[in-house]
């Protein structure tokens, strides 16, 4: 080969571009110290590892994106870490540099098996796993099975897993993750140590996002990060996905992540404009409120988002009035406005909440959302001129309100229909059933009477026994119904124990007891003795009703 050929200037081949990793994957926690908002669980796990009291099965539950799968992988690393020198044992602070830690983090460890129950939910898949459980780990201290979305397994698959889940070999650990724990059978729940991962507070999420944008070299306004944190609704993964989109939305001109751009991207209403709208509603300025709403609508803001932000405003004012924590991220203008509005009476604030909540429900399912939103705001405008029921009662007692037939006094605003008084919070199972019947939920009331065995009833919390099968989606339907009726979020849980008899069983037992009392009365005994073929078809109860 000639020297002239060797001297040819051959251009170097460009290095292959690395594929972009989204922020939700790039910043997935690799240690327990990076897992935000779950301090109680980390403390419990740390103490269990130090004392050698490790359960054989863990159940991790919580809303999407709070770290269930990440926590399962961290537990796998904590149990199998051998330290940089290869001599370490289980630890709550895995080193991250030993071969087991690196292999688990990269998803290639042969003894850490991740199973997606959504696509492997049959009994055959479970049988394959239970067969493999018998064999010892290849290289790790523990063989670990991570079953994600475990609630999607079929009933036969759950049954096939029960025995192995209760008494697995000493070298096996099960880590189950689910977003819908109420769909997991009680027999499975009783065999696991359960950890409920909490929604991550907005201030913690905003702080986490600040570290992320700093690491990415992106400028971001604190208010923009607060908006993203609130939109994430406690989910770190959702928040990072929104932040990824917001960074891309900023483009290549170096604008970074701005609050106004985030509002436009998410379809959120400007908080300053919402304060103006809220003030117009309190002043009963109907035309001004409609103009303010249309201005937001013309900017692309969803009408339901306007009502949702108004609901947040009423809630924030109420919290300020009771002396609660204002929450992070409030500007000086917001603080001043909330301090002024805190002079509103509690009945007025509760009435505003109920009217806005009803309006939000109407707009969410309306064929004409903006028109439905306008009607909802006008209803609030007219209702704001009415006195609350307590003040009205005092006026009537003092003779300040004209009697029927007397000439009406001039009113500052047109009269409106009075706001309905909210139903009292139910304190017994019978009151829950009556509340469902009153609001037309007759099918759900029948299911509640016939199937629900009450263990515990507290404000916004109902715990029912799982000993008796309940209809599919019953807990979800009951939560949604009570939320729609009372305006508050309710939790319906399935617990252990037999609970109280169902309402139908109580009614049957009461009727049998009354029948026995009637049959054993001297008069009826004498009649049956005189007429041996006679039967008791019906009788009159003490309240005058007829029983059969």
CB half-sphere exposure, 43, CA atoms < 13 A:
4
CATH class of 429-500: alpha beta
Taking alpha carbons only, the member of 458, 476, 480 closest to residue 181 is: 476
**Helices assigned H by DSSP within 171-302:** 186-189, 202-216, 222-232, 236-249, 259-266, 271-282, 286-298
pLDDT of the chain along its 548 residues, tens only?
A: 444 434 445 555 555 556 778 888 888 888 888 888 888 888 988 888 888 888 899 999 988 888 898 899 999 999 999 989 888 888 888 988 999 999 998 889 999 999 988 888 888 889 999 899 988 888 889 999 999 999 999 999 999 999 899 889 999 999 999 988 989 999 999 999 999 888 888 888 999 999 999 988 888 888 889 888 888 888 888 889 989 888 887 755 567 888 888 877 776 666 778 888 998 998 888 899 999 999 888 877 889 989 998 998 899 889 888 887 666 556 667 778 888 888 888 888 888 999 999 999 999 898 899 999 999 999 998 876 666 566 656 666 666 554 333 334 444 444 444 444 557 788 888 988 888 888 888 888 888 888 888 888 888 888 888 777 777 788 888 888 888 888 788 888 888 878 888 888 888 888 888 777 877 877 777 777 766 776 766 655 555 555 56
Whether residue 188 contacts residue 215, with contact meaning beta carbons closer than 8 Å, is answered with no
Dist CA 109 CA 127 (whole Å): 22
Q: Residue 164: which residues within 8 A CB-CB, separation 6 or more?
A: 129, 130, 133
The H or E element containing residue 176 is strand 172-178
DSSP 159: H
Dist CA 340 CA 343 (whole Å): 6
Return the bridge partners of 539, or none. 547
Taking alpha carbons only, the member of 427, 430, 440 closest to residue 485 is: 440
Predicted pLDDT of residue 409: 45
Q: Is 491 helix (H, G, I), strand (E, B) or coil?
A: strand
CB half-sphere exposure, 425, CA atoms < 13 A:
10
Q: Structural domain boundaries of the chain? A: 23-196, 202-266, 271-390, 429-500, 504-547
Dist CA 126 CA 113 (whole Å): 13
Taken in order 448, 454, 457, 462, the sign of the CA dihedral is negative
Predicted pLDDT of residue 415: 44
Dist CA 53 CA 69 (whole Å): 22
Dist CA 319 CA 341 (whole Å): 11
Token digits of residue 159:
């049954």
Whether residue 203 contacts residue 229, with contact meaning beta carbons closer than 8 Å, is answered with yes
Whether residue 257 contacts residue 250, with contact meaning beta carbons closer than 8 Å, is answered with yes
Look at strands 143-148 and 172-178 and give their pairing. Answer: parallel
Q: Fold for 202-266, please state it.
A: Helicase, Ruva Protein; domain 3 (1.10.8)
- Using CA atoms, how far residue 214 sits from 131, 207, 220, in Å, is 48, 11, 9
398-432 as b/e, with b when 16 or more CB fall inside 10 Å? Answer: eeeeeeeeeeeeeeeeeebeebeeeeeebeebeeb
SS3 annotation, 288-349: HHHHHHHHHHHCCCCHHHHHHHHHHHHHHHHHHHCCCCCCCCCCHHHHHHHHHHCCCCHHHH
Residue 239 class from Cβ within 10 Å (0-12 exposed, 13-18 middle, 19+ buried)? buried
Taking alpha carbons only, the member of 263, 373, 367, 228 closest to residue 310 is: 373
Q: Count CB-CB contacts under 10 A for residue 188.
A: 22
Predicted pLDDT of residue 360: 92
Dist CA 145 CA 165 (whole Å): 11
Token digits of residue 519:
């049959």
Q: Count CB-CB contacts under 10 A for residue 136.
A: 11
Dist CA 25 CA 29 (whole Å): 9
Q: Fold for 271-390, please state it.
A: Zinc Finger, Delta Prime; domain 3 (1.20.272)
CATH tag for 23-196 (out of 3.40.50.300, 2.60.40.10, 3.30.360.10, 3.10.20.30) = 3.40.50.300
Q: What are phi and psi of 83, to 5 degrees?
A: 80, 165
Residue 9 class from Cβ within 10 Å (0-12 exposed, 13-18 middle, 19+ buried)? exposed
Dist CA 239 CA 228 (whole Å): 6
Whether residue 309 contacts residue 269, with contact meaning beta carbons closer than 8 Å, is answered with yes
Residue 207 class from Cβ within 10 Å (0-12 exposed, 13-18 middle, 19+ buried)? middle
Dist CA 14 CA 463 (whole Å): 63
Token digits of residue 405:
């037939």
Helices and strands in the chain, H and E counts: 24, 10
Residue written as tokens 């509103």?
344
Q: Is 243 helix (H, G, I), strand (E, B) or coil?
A: helix
CB half-sphere exposure, 155, CA atoms < 13 A:
1
């Amino acid at each position: 080969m000639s020297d002239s050929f060797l001297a040819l200037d051959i251009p170097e081949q460009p290095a292959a571009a690395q594929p972009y990793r989204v922020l939700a994957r790039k910043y997935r926690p690799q240690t327990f110290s990076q897992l935000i908002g779950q301090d109680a669980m980390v403390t419990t796990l740390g103490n269990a590892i130090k004392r050698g009291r490790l359960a054989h099965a863990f159940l991790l539950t919580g809303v999407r994106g709070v770290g269930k799968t990440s926590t399962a992988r961290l537990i796998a690393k904590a149990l199998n870490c051998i330290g940089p020198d290869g001599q370490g044992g289980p630890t709550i602070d895995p080193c991250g540099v030993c071969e087991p830690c690196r292999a688990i983090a990269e998803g290639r460890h042969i003894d850490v098996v991740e199973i997606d129950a959504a696509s492997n939910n049959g009994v055959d898949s479970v049988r394959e796993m239970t067969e493999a459980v018998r064999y010892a780990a290849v290289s790790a201290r523990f063989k670990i099975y991570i079953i994600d979305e475990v609630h999607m397994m079929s009933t036969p698959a759950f049954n096939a897993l029960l025995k192995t889940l209760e008494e697995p070999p000493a070298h096996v650990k099960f880590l189950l993750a689910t977003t819908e724990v109420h769909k997991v059978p009680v027999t499975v729940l009783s065999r696991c140590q359960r950890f409920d991962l909490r929604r991550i507070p907005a201030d913690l999420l905003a702080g986490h996002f600040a570290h992320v944008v700093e690491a990415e070299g992106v400028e971001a306004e604190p208010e923009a990060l607060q908006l993203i944190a609130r939109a994430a609704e406690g989910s770190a993964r959702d928040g990072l996905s929104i932040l990824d989109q917001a960074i891309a939305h900023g483009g290549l001109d170096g604008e970074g992540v701005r609050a106004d751009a985030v509002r436009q991207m998410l379809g959120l209403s400007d908080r300053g404009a919402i304060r103006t709208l809220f003030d117009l509603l309190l002043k009963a300025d109907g035309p001004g409120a409609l103009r303010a709403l249309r201005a937001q609508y013309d900017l692309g803001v969803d009408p339901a988002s306007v009502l949702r932000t108004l609901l947040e405003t009423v809630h924030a004012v109420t919290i300020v009035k009771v002396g609660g924590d204002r929450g992070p991220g409030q500007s000086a203008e917001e603080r001043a406005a909330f301090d002024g509005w805190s002079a509103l009476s509690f009945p007025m604030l509760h009435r505003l909440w109920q009217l806005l909540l009803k309006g939000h429900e109407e707009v969410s399912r309306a064929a004409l959302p903006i028109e439905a939103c306008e009607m909802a705001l006008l209803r609030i405008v007219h209702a704001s001129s009415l006195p609350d029921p307590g003040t009205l009662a005092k006026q009537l007692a003092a003779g300040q309100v004209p009697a029927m037939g007397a000439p009406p006094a001039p009113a500052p605003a047109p009269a409106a229909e009075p706001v309905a008084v909210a139903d009292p919070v139910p304190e017994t199972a019978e009151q829950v059933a009556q509340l469902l019947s009153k609001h037309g939920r007759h099918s759900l009331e029948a299911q509640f009477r016939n199937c629900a065995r009450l263990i515990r009833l507290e404000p916004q919390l109902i715990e029912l026994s799982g000993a008796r099968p309940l209809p599919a989606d019953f807990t979800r339907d009951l939560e949604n119904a009570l939320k729609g009726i009372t305006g508050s979020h309710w939790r319906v849980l399935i617990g252990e124990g037999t609970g109280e008899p169902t309402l139908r069983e109580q009614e049957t037992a009461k009727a049998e007891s009354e029948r026995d009392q009637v049959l054993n009365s001297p008069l009826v005994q004498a009649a049956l003795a005189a007429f041996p073929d006679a039967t008791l078809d019906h009788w009159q109860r003490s309240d005058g009703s007829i029983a059969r």
